[in-house]
């Protein structure tokens, strides 16, 4: 069994706590995007930060913990399933784009936002039927807008706090 440094445990604990606080804030925000289930994705600021500072493993660990815990605290089993399916597609696409070296933080985040919505729609099509794909254009646009905002915030967080993660 590999020994995990205490600093890593503390960083991941703070990251889970921060992402849960952002999940709670997002759950009480009176944002009506006129799309079922559409959210800004505030906790993804933590995910993009960790992807660039702690690596893929730390990012995935914190995101999955946040999705499960936030689902039990502020959502339901369907929100966990949808969020995990969106995360899986989003995470793989962001990781590939980051590793290519051709995209910046904001571009990676935009792709993550779009692919998160796509993953949720794929999951929803299995549960509710293929008609949910009619939401794809609107959710893709929402994913671009949210990904842009999250990417800008994440890039600023990386710039200001990232050096302390080394």
Spell out the per-residue pLDDT of the chain, length 166, in tens. 667 688 888 899 999 999 999 999 988 876 666 676 678 899 999 999 999 999 999 999 999 999 999 999 988 899 899 999 999 999 999 999 999 999 999 999 999 999 999 999 999 999 989 999 998 999 999 999 999 999 999 999 999 998 887 6
| Residue 27 to residues 42, 126, 165, Cα–Cα distance (Å) | 10, 25, 29
Full set of structural domains in the chain with CATH: 6-165 (1.10.1760.20)
Q: What is the pLDDT of residue 9?
A: 87
Contact 131, 121 (CB under 8 A): no
List of residues 6+ apart from 61 with CB closer than 8 A: 12
- CA end-to-end distance (rounded Å), the chain: 24
Q: What is the pLDDT of residue 75?
A: 83
| Residue 128 to residues 67, 95, 136, Cα–Cα distance (Å) | 21, 29, 15
Q: What is the pLDDT of residue 16?
A: 97
Q: What is the pLDDT of residue 39?
A: 80
Residue 129 CA to residue 166 CA, distance in Å, equals 46
**3-state DSSP assignment of residue 124:** helix
Q: What is the pLDDT of residue 133?
A: 92
- Taking the model in full, what pTM does it have? 0.90
Q: What is the pLDDT of residue 164?
A: 81
Neighbours of 141 (CB within 10 A): 13
């Amino acid at each position: 069994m590999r020994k995990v440094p205490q600093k890593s445990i503390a960083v991941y604990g703070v990251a889970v706590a921060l992402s849960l606080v952002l999940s709670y804030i997002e759950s009480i925000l009176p944002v009506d995007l006129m799309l079922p289930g559409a959210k800004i994705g505030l906790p993804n600021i933590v995910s993009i930060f960790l992807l660039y500072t702690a690596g893929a493993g730390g990012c995935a660990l914190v995101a999955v913990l946040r999705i499960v815990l936030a689902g039990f605290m502020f959502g339901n089993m369907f929100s966990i399933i949808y969020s995990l399916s969106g995360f899986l597609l989003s995470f793989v696409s962001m990781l590939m784009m980051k590793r290519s070296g051709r995209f910046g933080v904001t571009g990676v985040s935009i792709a993550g936002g779009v692919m998160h919505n796509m993953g949720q729609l794929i999951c929803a099509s299995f549960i509710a039927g293929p008609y949910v794909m009619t939401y794809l254009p609107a959710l893709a646009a929402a994913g671009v807008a949210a990904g842009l905002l999250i990417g800008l915030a994440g890039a600023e967080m990386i710039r200001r706090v990232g050096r302390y993660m080394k």
